[in-house]
Every structure is written in structure tokens, then in C-alpha cells.
Amino acid sequence: MKKILVTRRLLRSCEDKAEMSFNAILNSNDELYSQKKIIELSNGCDGILSSLTDKLDSDTINKLPETIKIISNFAVGFGNIDLDAAKKRDIIVTNTPDVLTDATAEIGVLLILGACRRASEGIESARQGGWKWSADYLIGRQLTGTKLGILGMGRIGQKIAKVAKSLGMIIHYHNRSQLSDEKEDGAIYHKNLKDFLKECQVLSICCPASKETIDMINKETIEYLPKGAIVTNVARGDIVDDNALIDALNRRKVYAVGLDVYKNEPNLNPGYLNHKSAFILPHLGSATKETRTAMANLAIDNIDEFFKTGNCVNKVN
């Protein structure tokens, strides 16, 4: 039986599945392992079921035991893993696509609603009690008739577009390539990023983090947005230059933000905490029982498929 290291605690049913399929070293205390400890614990293992919280950079990968042949990441993203270093070691890396589309899209819509309707301020006011109603009390932005720009029209972006369209929003999008008419479903495609951002009264960031998209939303590109735009991010924190976005909030160039992901999370930039108009969540995109179960089971199945066939359909390197 193959031996694997599971770096973070999974739901109990998923850990049972891992133990039935492999000789699995589980993390019962859900300790955040250091890179050094991952290397030590993987000694004698054939594979690693990793998490986004594990920083598997080139130095770490190069020190892994020769027995490691697969790293199955418990996430759709894989920015925590140096793919080139893994490839040079003949270690395949896999992810868990598709299964978290609905849950993440739901959070994406929540971020839009929360930022537009000043939910953070409303929650705080309700907790304090004694608020005084007036005609202009906590007036926010109505979604109906508002232009929503989706940066990255993959599965999650398409699902957000579908829900937003049902709420009366007008959908624009920027993507590496234009979608088919069926997938566009009336959305307006912009090949040029600048032209796209000019239309975004609300921006929803849904694209993966890559060399091309890191800091794509920065000091220069933020200026393309209409004054008073709203920026939301359900993808990856690396896509946004935090200092530039916080500066835009300070200047009221950006009206509000809705964020579920951050650079260096969980240590988000404290500048966001100073803004009542920042609707922020602690990376809840996939946080439903159904989705986390499906993700973990797929991560386990990826390892099983690799050792049975020598390959995996969800390979990313």
C-alpha cells in the first residue's frame, strides 16, 4: 500500500477514505506544518496531499525524499507550489478543479452584494443598536442596471455572471479569448483590458493567479475604472496590488471593496481594516461541507489515479 502525507486535517469522512486507500499520515491537530516538518514527515512517503497553506517552493521540493512522486493540492489553485521545480524532480502536481465552482461563485455574489449595499457598516450599526433611520441612511448601490465586469470568465466567472444577470446587472468580461455565444449568454467581450475596466462599475476578479495576472489590478489599471467603482476579488490575492487599491479607497476613486482572498493571508494588509466600506471575509470561497468533501475526495482520487495509471487528468505541470 502506498504511503502518503496529508498536511492538514480533512473532514472525517475524507480522512477515512484516505486511510482506506493508502497508508495515510494524518494531521489530527491540524497543525500548520513548517517546510522543514513537511520534508521530515514525508520521509518514506510516495505522495503528499497538500493544502494552499503549504509553501512548497523550489527549495522545499528539492529537499523532498526521492520517493515522492505526486503532490495532490487540496485546492483549485496551485500558486503555493513551484511547478517547475516539481517537474524537474519528476513529481506531478494535481489540483481539484470544477468541484468548488458553485460555492465560490456564491461567495463572489455575496462580495458584490456586501460591497454594494454597505453590509459591513450595516452589520456594525445593527450590533451597536439605536440607529436612527433617515432617507439617506446607509444608502448603497443598486445592482439592477449596473455594469458588472468579470475579469476571467471561467466556470466561476460564468456562474457569477448568470446570477448577476438574474439580478438585472449588465455583464462585461475580459478573458484570454472570447467565449462561444452560448457561454457568453449576452455578456459583452472586451479584448483590451483598459477598454474593459472603463466599463466596470463593479469589478469581479475571477481569474487564476499567474505570471500574467499578478498585480494586474495596480496603480495604473485602477485609474481606468470609473470613479466610484466597486472592486471584488474571489480569485487570488496576488492579482491585486493592495497598496494601490487601499490608496484608491482613500481617494474615493474606489467606492468599496469586497474581498475573500489576500496577499500573505491570513495576514491581510491592515489598510483594509481602516475602511468601513471594505467588506472582507476570511477566504470562505469553498467553505461548504459539500464542496470541501468533494475537494478532498478528488485530491485523494488524483493520487489513486496516478499510482494506478501513471498519469492524472487533473495534472497541472
Residues marked as catalytic: 236, 265, 283
Residues 6+ apart with CB under 8 A from 53: 7, 8, 32, 80
Are 33 and 27 in contact by the 8 Å Cβ rule? The answer is: yes
Are 74 and 95 in contact by the 8 Å Cβ rule? The answer is: no
Q: Where are the alpha helices (DSSP H) in the chain?
A: 12-21, 35-41, 58-62, 83-88, 101-116, 119-128, 155-166, 181-184, 193-198, 219-222, 242-250, 289-309
Exposed/middle/buried for 207, CB within 10 Å: 0-12, 13-18, 19+? buried
Q: Using DSSP bridges, classify how beta strands 278-280 and 202-205 pair: parallel, antiparallel or unpaired.
A: unpaired
| Cis bond upstream, residue 65 (ω within 30) | no
Ramachandran category for residue 138: left, alpha or beta (phi over 0 → left; psi -120 to 50 → alpha): left
